Amino acid sequence: MPAVGRRVQRFLNAQSSAPQTRAAHDYGEITPIVVGTAFASRRELYTSGIHRALQAGIVGSASTGAESIVLSGGYVDDQDLGSEIIYTGHGGRDPATGRQIADQTFTRQNQALVTSCLQGLPVRVVRGSEHNSPYSPDVGYRYEGLYRVESYWHARGADGFLVCRFHLLALANDQSQPSIISGVPSAPPGQARRVPSTVLRIVRDTAVSRRVKELHAFQCQVCGIRLECKGGPYAEAAHIRPLGAPHHGPDAMENVLCLCPNHHVLFDNGAFGIGDDFAFVGLNGRLRTSPDHIVNRDHLNYQRYMWGRS
């Protein structure tokens, strides 16, 4: 048996004969489990601490975030692209047929993944052999490393019901190569490391974004506030239909709003939408508009659809 396998087996043996002493919520990597470690059963996953549930696909709580998830083929709407995963939340599934029979909500385990997104917490990912993906193991389960929850939204699933969707991106899990995660160097080969997490929001600044902000004199189109900093005014460009997969929104003026940081966060995370008549959905008031900045109503409709408002 390889050295890593012997260490893991000794760890599992010790854990099975000793009481659990881990914290109530355990995030990041688990010593000495390294990326690629195989497990024969959910019981082994549970005992190791990699995924501390025998049945649930999501471990965590709404208040503290998600520790781990398992991709086990239970939901037809999952999409697995390796380092990028579109994960379907929990709930609304008929246990007999496996089909979706009710809408999902952002509560309980689903809310745990939302909290991980908002707080920038890493999530352990495990793939199971029953998961229909070329990245899944042939038998049992395999630990795939740490991912971050990039975004979340509501969408109509294949069975016609609203499902909670989560876009996860792999962190630098290769422990044989030097890497930096949140400013912390990777551990030497064969050694696990804990990864502290910070919230990171990427604020894109393109020519299109700058033009939209200039047209609105850096005033938020929701609240009208213009932030005056020492170096000049500040506002953020919010893409109505998100850029990149799986949404593929364009970086065009028709898809950009000028918002203050607060309303940017609220808009991106579904706290409100904007109707075709520019009245807010979820807030009072209407969007401040400019004749030189025409907003595409199809993109507004897409954002509402993401959050189950259409």
pLDDT digit string, tens, across residues 263-293 = 999 999 999 999 999 999 999 999 999 999 9
Hey, where are the domains in the chain? 3-185, 207-306
Q: What residues form DSSP beta bridges with 88?
A: 165
| pLDDT the model gives residue 258 | 97
What phi and psi values does residue 264 have, to the nearest 5 degrees?
-65, -50
Of the candidates 294, 158, 310, 302, the residue with the CA atom closest to the CA atom of residue 242:
302
Q: For position 60, what pLDDT does the model report?
A: 93
| Nearest CA among 192, 264, 182 for reference residue 35 | 192
Evaluated on CA atoms 269, 274, 275, 280, the torsion sign reads positive
Q: What is the pTM of this model?
A: 0.68
Q: State how far the Cα of 301 lies from the Cα of 73, in Å rounded to an integer.
A: 31
Task: Specify the pLDDT at position 12.
Answer: 53
* Fold of the domain spanning 3-185: PUA domain-like (2.30.280)
pLDDT of residue 6: 52
Contact in structure between 39 and 5 (CB atoms under 8 Å): no
Whole-number pLDDT of residue 190: 37
- Max distance between CA atoms of the chain, in angstroms, equals 71
Burial zone of 254 (CB within 10 Å; 0-12 exposed, 13-18 middle, 19+ buried): middle
* Helix-then-strand count for the chain, H and E: 6, 16
Q: Which residues of the chain have pLDDT under 70?
A: 1-25, 74, 173-205
Query: What pLDDT score does 252 carry?
Result: 95
